[in-house]
Amino acid sequence: MNQACLRFAPSPNGQLHLGHAYSALLNEHMANRLAAKLLLRLEDIDTTRCTPALQQQMLEDLEWLGIRWHEAPQKQSEHFPRYQQALAQLEAKGLLYRAYLTRSQIKTYISQQQDWPRDPDGAPLYPGSAFGEREAKDTRNAPYALRLNMQAALSTLQNQGIDWQELTAPDAKEAERIKANPAAWGDIILARKDTPTSYHLSVVVDDAAQGISHVVRGQDLYHATSVHRLLQQLLGLPAPLYHHHKLLTDDSGDKLAKSASSISLRTLREQGTTPADIRRKLGFAH
Ligand code: GLU
């Protein structure tokens, strides 16, 4: 049997805070328990927001925290050809289409509809079918995104549902079978003009390329796993086990996010907090 392999996969578009530290340390904890490899992947496909300076800081913060990786960190920005290949595979199956509607056109259209469906993140589903874009094979010279024709993708499954195995606790012995519901996301974007891949596509391609056996990440990505399982199925990639961990909240109960005013690891460190303090605070004392 292959050695188990876990990864921490932050996007270097802001400073790391305690929520990231929790996720990284939980990956470390589970990797130790499973005698697994632990890898670091920088998810930097958004090359404008993920600056080299932020990446450098992220590596320093993780080093300071004392996490050791089994291999040199990988950067998604170095693997665009890999994602291109996966897109070509989906294209060959006739599952992609060019979507031209702008954000404001989508907004106008859905404002005229009653109870237009929204995805699990609250964004309106793309009204591709309403404008005939799915079938149009349009090649006009205007900016477009490549979207997955969800209906066509689901029909390739021939009514066989898809699911994933979820470890409901970090130390759970048995996984629970969760039914995936990719249709809830509609025609997801798989590539844009300025970013030739998307989070969903690159994460499944890389989890497979790196032999990830256990995906340990925040509860905020729980519903995205439905899309990931569908893409794995369409691309013939193996399905890892998943554990979606709790999200840390601040004193007012709001989720810690890079965008909110949550204190960065850097600031905590400048204020004299030690890595041992952080491990203790987050429940990972040695
Ligand atoms: N890069 C994603 C983030 O920072 C996490 C991806 C994942 O763990 O699947 O939110």
pTM value is 0.94
The amino acid occupying position 211 is G
Q: Give me the torsion for CA of 120, 123, 129, 135, rounded to 10°.
A: -90
Alpha carbon distance 65, 19 (integer Å):
13
The alpha carbon dihedral of 26, 28, 32, 36 has a sign of positive
Q: Is 281 exposed, middle or buried (0-12, 13-18, 19+ CB in 10 A)?
A: middle
Taking the domain 1-77+249-286, which CATH number applies?
A: 3.40.50.620
What SS3 class is residue 26? helix
Which atom of ligand 1 has the smallest separation from the CA of 220?
Answer: 10
What is the 107 CA–ligand 1 centroid distance (Å)?
27
Fold of domain 79-248: Rossmann fold (3.40.50)
Residues 6+ apart with CB under 8 A from 230: 153, 154, 157, 162, 180, 182
Residue nearest atom 2 of ligand 1, based on CA coordinates: 10
The pLDDT averaged over each successive group of 10 residues in the chain (286 residues) is 93 95 98 97 95 96 97 97 98 95 92 95 91 78 93 92 96 96 97 92 98 98 98 98 92 64 87 96 88
- Ligand 1 mutation target, pool 15, 220, 221, 255, most atoms within 8 A of CB: 221
The answer to whether domain 1-77+249-286 and domain 79-248 are alike in fold is yes
What is the 137 CA–ligand 1 centroid distance (Å)?
32
Domain boundaries, the chain: 1-77+249-286, 79-248
pLDDT for res 138? 66
What is the 132 CA–ligand 1 centroid distance (Å)?
33
Residue nearest atom 6 of ligand 1, based on CA coordinates: 9
Instruction: Residue 189: name the closest of 273, 270, 80, 97 by CA.
Output: 97
- Ligand 1 mutation target, pool 6, 43, 226, 241, most atoms within 8 A of CB: 43
First CA to last CA distance, the chain: 29
Residues 6+ apart with CB under 8 A from 176: 165, 166, 167, 168
pLDDT for res 109? 93
Residues 6+ apart with CB under 8 A from 81: none
What does the DSSP assignment read for 157-168? TTT---EEEE-S
Structural tokens at position 46: 């958004």
